[in-house]
Amino acid sequence: MAAKDDDLNNVPIYIRVQKDLLKLIHDGDVAPGGRFPSERELSLRFGASRMTMRKAVDHLVQSGVLERRGTSGTFVPDRLFDRPLSDHTFYSVSDVVEKAGHTPGSKLLFFERREADPFIASKLALSPGDPVISIERLRTVDGVPVCLELSHFPASLVPGLSASDVIENKSIYRLFRDNYHLDFTNDVRVISVHYATKGEAELLDLRPGAPVLHFEGLTLTGEGQPFEYLRSLNHPDRVSLTINPPPKKQGPKQSNPISWTLQS
């Protein structure tokens, strides 16, 4: 139903207009990556003032539903990265991005060798105080920030790993395979909603408090030893998460399922 400039049910006009605009996107009237109609076009279509339309569009931009590109106009964001999740195949972010025809990038935010606290120790099957390496990286696709990732590794499995190794290699897992001769598989994966802090929002080009896709994962070596505990914050308009089912086979399924939770 088109929005009208009245005060029906005491709902602000721009809120009702936002619902109309969201329906345009959800119904596919404007495809991902496509230019969104101008305020003038929207005003004529929905019968609301241009000022009301401007406010509604502004709120959708602030929420990350739309994005402004300088003088080019307003667009529906096109997701840069489809992140596959699987309980039977291991995927490297860099490998997935390259196979999609894009350029992966990574900015090292910190690299630290430290003692495992009880929480990290429990995730990596270590004892508190055992040495771990913690790495935080900002991942990019074609130079655009897509996810913020904090990883913890048992130091004993990657002896000699340095910050320069991480900086010099676009794919740290390629480094692990080539230098440490390790193979990997996935174990626990949890997807939830997280609300970006001010610092996280600045790195991901979002407003503070914006919802992001929170991915928590545990990677094992081929021998089944916990190797990486990962916490990844994914830009909601630049990353999609796709669950790939395992190939059909006889017998009971042995791997752990992907779980979905909602947290604030």
Residue from 17, 62, 70 nearest 43 by CA = 17
Model-level pTM greater than 0.85? no
Mean pLDDT, residues 10-36 taken together:
82
Of the residues 54, 75, 96, the one at which a domain ends? 75
If asked whether residues 23 and 95 sit together in one domain, one would say no
Q: Are 195 and 262 in contact (CB under 8 A)?
A: no
Q: Is 16 within the bounds of a domain? A: yes
If asked whether residues 28 and 145 sit together in one domain, one would say no
Please provide the average confidence, as pLDDT, over all residues in the chain.
Answer: 83
Of the residues 75, 109, 129, the one at which a domain ends? 75
Kindly report the number of other CB atoms within 10 A of residue 48's CB atom: 23
Separation between Cα atoms, residue 139 and residue 116, nearest integer Å: 24
Separation between Cα atoms, residue 166 and residue 153, nearest integer Å: 13
CATH of residue 136's domain is 3.40.1410.10
Q: Are 214 and 233 in contact (CB under 8 A)?
A: yes
Position 143 scores a pLDDT of: 86
If asked whether residues 99 and 161 sit together in one domain, one would say yes
Mean pLDDT, residues 194-222 taken together:
93
If asked whether residues 171 and 46 sit together in one domain, one would say no
Torsion of CA 76, 80, 83, 89, to 10 degrees: 140
pLDDT tens, residue by residue, 100-142: 777 888 999 999 999 999 999 999 999 999 999 999 999 998 8
For the cut 60, the answer to whether the pLDDT of residue 8 exceeds it is no
Q: Are 152 and 127 in contact (CB under 8 A)?
A: no
- Burial environment of residue 178 by CB neighbours within 10 A (0 to 12, 13 to 18, 19 or more): exposed
If asked whether residues 60 and 104 sit together in one domain, one would say no
If asked whether residues 40 and 121 sit together in one domain, one would say no
If asked whether residues 132 and 237 sit together in one domain, one would say yes
State the total domains in the chain.
2
Range of the domain at 20: 8-75
Q: Is 3 within the bounds of a domain? A: no
Position 9 scores a pLDDT of: 58
Please give the angle made by the CA atoms of 86, 88 and 89, to the nearest 5 degrees.
70
Q: Is 25 within the bounds of a domain? A: yes
If asked whether residues 101 and 68 sit together in one domain, one would say no
Pick 84 or 28 by higher pLDDT: 28
Task: Write the CA distances from 83 to 60, 86, 100, 128, 232, integer angstroms.
Answer: 24, 10, 11, 32, 11
Q: Is 2 within the bounds of a domain? A: no
pLDDT tens, residue by residue, 58-101: 888 876 678 887 788 898 876 667 777 765 566 778 888 888 77
